[in-house]
Amino acid sequence: MSDRTETDDVRTEEANGGFSRRTFIKIGIVAGAGLTLGVAWRMTRDPGLPTSDATFVPNAYLRIDEDGSITVLVAKAEMGQGVSTALPQMIAEELDVAWEDVTFEFAQAHDAYGMMVTGGSTAVMEAWGPLRRAGATARWMLREAAARRWDLPAEQLATRNARVIAPDGSELTYGDLATDAAKLEAPDEAPVKDPSEFRLIGRSLPRLDAESKSTGRATFGIDAGPPNTRVAVVARSPVFGGRLRSFDPSAALAIPGVEEVVEIRAGVAVVARGYVEANQGRDALDIEWDEGDAASLSDETIHQTLRAAAQGSGRSVTEYGEPDVVLDAAPEPVVATYRLPYLAHATMEPMNCTAWVHDGQCTVWAPTQFANGPAIIGGGARQVAADAAGVSVDKTELNVTYLGGGFGRRAERDFVQEAAELAGKIDGPVKVVWSREDDTRHDFYRPASWHEFRGSLGNDGLPEAWEHRMASQSIIERLVPPWVPGPAARFAGKRDPTSTEGASNQPYRVPHMLMSYARVDLPIPVGFWRSVGHTHTGFVVESFIDELAHAAGRDPYEYRRALLDEHPRHLAVLNAAAEAADWGSPAPEGRARGIAVVESFGSYVAQVAEVSIEDGVPRVHKVWCAIDCGTVLNPRIVRAQMESGIVYGLTAALHGEINIQNGRAVQGNFIDYPMLRINQMPAVEVILAPSGDAPGGVGEPATPPIAPAVTNAIFALTGQRIRTMPIRLI
């Protein structure tokens, strides 16, 4: 894959503002053999965290020991997106240390970290101010410790490569100074570097997790746990919402290696010495389910329900002007209906969790995106494990492992609940492992959605009125009950902002606008899927604006440009992608290009896709992807995430669909829920267009534009407008 980028030493201006509005800085100084500095997302006077012989405190994001070792504690989940490199890179920059001297560890779940959630592409955005200040504060304290030892003004001392340097060239290592620095009072404010001073930020530094993953030493959830851990496989209701009626364990227990059969809330767990035996035991169970009302639910009923809701009286989300009046008077309004299916997450590592309850203590090893959170919304994985195991949360230790893919699925806590509940009922540690079929058929799916559009054009061919009526299940209302106080409660029974994002604030200049949302209640479990609401709205908005451009007889790129004059960051990436793709030149014979631009998670991404049709199937040859994610922390990680997001979105566009029949998910494995193959992968050219603003997200923003870029190219090539996913040509 080729990359059209700035130099790796990207130098961008620092973001305005400091802390995220959701974060505070907390400095914790621990006297003893080292300096420990922590940044917590909320102020805690006495976190009451346990210490180790190395005076390590789990709320610390930075540990400097007497031997000079520098360890960054990462309180976010590493699922391939590079957070275990990006967060240490911020601290290392401000600390003035060499990159090769930095190591990291995953932080255990604890309230001192506040909400430990990795999602919404927020890890770098939230940490940008606090972690830089953490590094700057530590550097200030180390320099002050050296100044006192040498009896020199601190202003005369320099820091470089984990050393404090005197004017005469004398040096003290950070390890030499760690104990003295730990005794000092932290300053109220330690200035961070000006971007012109950056040595590490803006560079494609090597990933800190690369070696362990390349050598097989990295511990994923499925690898974790103490010796002699048994394996369990759970029989769950095949119908959504079904309940266990009865079961006979005899046939399962007759299989060599099967040791126990235990009823849990999710169904029946078969515990064995290994996975093969546990899976065979699960298959041998004589089990009867009460399938419930959902057993009659199938695709046709779901589609009818969504269509009726979208065409009915949804709640207005965005409304201005007189869209109904203008549209009703339009002689030939542009009308389009779009439908998107349920999608599974299909992480490469299926769901799993290991738990051990002993001596009133619950220890958990989990590949989770939601390690810790407030009990008022059910808590994170640590709280869920404590409740399921029947122990107090302060007696529950949750160890976060590497994640073999997350995409939002591992923000759910069902797999943790199963393992902890089972561990509380048996002796010894147990690892609950899901098969690929378990994972696909018991997912929290990307919601299916229905979208009805009407648009009218003015005399100049530009949009005069825009109406978008949407229906889907709600994600956020499942997670946040109506009685919870605060902003989330405002959406109860009205609208789900995680569904309408990208449509309620679509960027195109239109004088008369209506966007409405109808929440549909169905028994299909839904959850956050990579790019969340933008995965719907990016496709439909960018498809419909293309339809309006065609109705106006205008070039789709130029049409967008004419409507984005009030959105310079959208316009900048749109221009960058079009220029890189040489939009104005003819495409190679038998090919056409499509374009799309979507803002999501604080970043702006435009993509041009070059497509042909081979044997009746779309073939994407190349994608030009321009991103403005504000300040670029690590260009290589940004490029990798753009490529990753394109792969994920293109997989969904070409293949992704979960069908429902008799209350069951039809698809079960990669044979009927396929991933993008290597021979289908287009060349990807990434153009970094940093604006100098605060860092935006990069894990998700590349996913929404790829489907409309491809389908718009298909229309340009064939005249067929694609309004349903996955893409099927006629």
Residue 8 has pLDDT above 50, yes or no: no
Residue 109 has pLDDT above 60, yes or no: yes
Collapsing DSSP states into helix, strand and coil, what is residue 702? Answer: coil
User: CA 307, CA 303: separation in Å to the nearest integer?
Assistant: 6
Positions of E strands within 166-300 = 171-173, 230-236, 243-248, 258-264, 267-272, 286-290
- Ramachandran region, residue 456 (left: φ > 0; alpha: ψ -120 to 50; beta: rest): beta
Collapsing DSSP states into helix, strand and coil, what is residue 150? Answer: helix
Please report the pLDDT score of residue 67 as a whole number: 85
Contact (CB, 8 A) for 116 and 695? no
Q: Which two tokens stand for residue 519?
A: 């929440």
Please report the pLDDT score of residue 43 as a whole number: 27
For residue range 544-590, list pLDDT tens digits in order.
999 999 999 999 999 999 999 999 999 999 999 999 999 999 999 99
DSSP classification of residue 526: B
For each of the domains in the chain, give its residue range(s) and CATH number, in order of start. 34-204 (3.30.365.10), 229-292+351-435 (3.30.365.10), 312-343+445-718 (3.30.365.10)
User: CA 572, CA 565: separation in Å to the nearest integer?
Assistant: 10
Residue 24 has pLDDT above 60, yes or no: no
Neighbours of 252 (CB within 10 A): 26
Phi, psi (deg, nearest 5) at residue 375: -65, -20
Residue 20 has pLDDT above 60, yes or no: no
Q: Closest Cα to residue 639, out of 623, 655, 663, 620?
A: 623
For residue range 51-105, list pLDDT tens digits in order.
433 332 223 588 888 888 899 999 999 999 999 999 999 999 999 999 999 999 9
User: CA 560, CA 542: separation in Å to the nearest integer?
Assistant: 10
Contact (CB, 8 A) for 205 and 350? no
Distances (CA, A) of 452 to 9, 116, 205, 595, 652: 46, 38, 46, 22, 21
Neighbours of 348 (CB within 10 A): 11
User: CA 534, CA 224: separation in Å to the nearest integer?
Assistant: 34
In sequence order, the β-bridge partners of residue 34 are 65
Please report the pLDDT score of residue 482 as a whole number: 53
For residue range 654-682, list pLDDT tens digits in order.
999 999 999 999 999 999 999 999 999 99
- CA–centroid distance for 297 within its chain: 30
Distances (CA, A) of 68 to 26, 89, 563: 23, 18, 56
Provide the mean pLDDT of the chain: 90
In sequence order, the β-bridge partners of residue 606 are 597, 626
Neighbours of 170 (CB within 10 A): 13
Contact (CB, 8 A) for 459 and 548? no
- In this prediction, residue 486 has a pLDDT band, given cuts at 50, 70 and 90, of low
Please report the pLDDT score of residue 630 as a whole number: 97
**Higher-pLDDT residue of 6, 730:** 730
Contact (CB, 8 A) for 466 and 327? no
For residue range 311-358, list pLDDT tens digits in order.
998 999 999 999 999 999 999 999 999 999 999 999 999 999 999 999
Q: Which two tokens stand for residue 436?
A: 């690929």
For residue range 358-376, list pLDDT tens digits in order.
999 999 999 999 999 887 6
For residue range 167-214, list pLDDT tens digits in order.
999 999 999 998 888 888 888 889 999 999 999 999 999 999 999 999
Contact (CB, 8 A) for 469 and 310? yes
Contact (CB, 8 A) for 528 and 538? no
- Non-local CB neighbours of 46 within 8 Å, separated by 6+ positions: none
One-letter amino acid for residue 683 of the chain? A
Contact (CB, 8 A) for 402 and 369? no
Please report the pLDDT score of residue 53 as a whole number: 38
Distances (CA, A) of 49 to 104, 184, 358: 19, 20, 21
Average of per-residue pLDDT across 525-530: 97
Q: Helix 635-655 and helix 703-718: axis angle, to 10°?
A: 50
Please report the pLDDT score of residue 291 as a whole number: 97
User: CA 29, CA 447: separation in Å to the nearest integer?
Assistant: 46
User: CA 716, CA 245: separation in Å to the nearest integer?
Assistant: 55
Listed in sequence order, the DSSP H helices in 554-691 are 556-563, 568-580, 635-655
Please report the pLDDT score of residue 295 as a whole number: 97
Please report the pLDDT score of residue 690 as a whole number: 85
Q: Tell me, letter by letter, the H, E, C secondary structure of 59-124.
A: CCCEEEECCCCEEEEECCCCCCCCHHHHHHHHHHHHHCCCHHHEEEEECCCCHHHCCEECCCCCHH
Residue 5 has pLDDT above 80, yes or no: no
User: CA 340, CA 452: separation in Å to the nearest integer?
Assistant: 12
- CA–centroid distance for 346 within its chain: 14
For residue range 431-473, list pLDDT tens digits in order.
999 999 999 999 999 999 999 999 999 999 999 999 999 999 9
Q: Helix 414-423 and helix 381-389: axis angle, to 10°?
A: 30
Burial class (CB in 10 A: 0-12, 13-18, 19+), 718: middle
In sequence order, the β-bridge partners of residue 370 are 117
Beta-strand relationship, 102-106 and 70-74: parallel
**DSSP annotation string for 441-498:** HT--BBPPEEEEEEEEE-TTSSEEEEEEEEEE--SHHHHS-TTS-SGGGGGTTT--HH
Q: How big, in percent rounded to 5, are the helix, strand and coil portions of the chain?
A: 30, 25, 45
Please report the pLDDT score of residue 111 as a whole number: 78
For residue range 605-651, list pLDDT tens digits in order.
999 999 999 999 999 999 999 999 999 999 999 999 999 999 999 99
Residue 490 has pLDDT above 90, yes or no: no
For residue range 391-440, list pLDDT tens digits in order.
999 999 999 999 999 999 999 999 999 999 999 999 999 999 999 999 99
Q: Which two tokens stand for residue 375?
A: 């009990």
Please report the pLDDT score of residue 62 as a whole number: 87
Percent of the chain with pLDDT over 70: 89
Contact (CB, 8 A) for 197 and 139? no
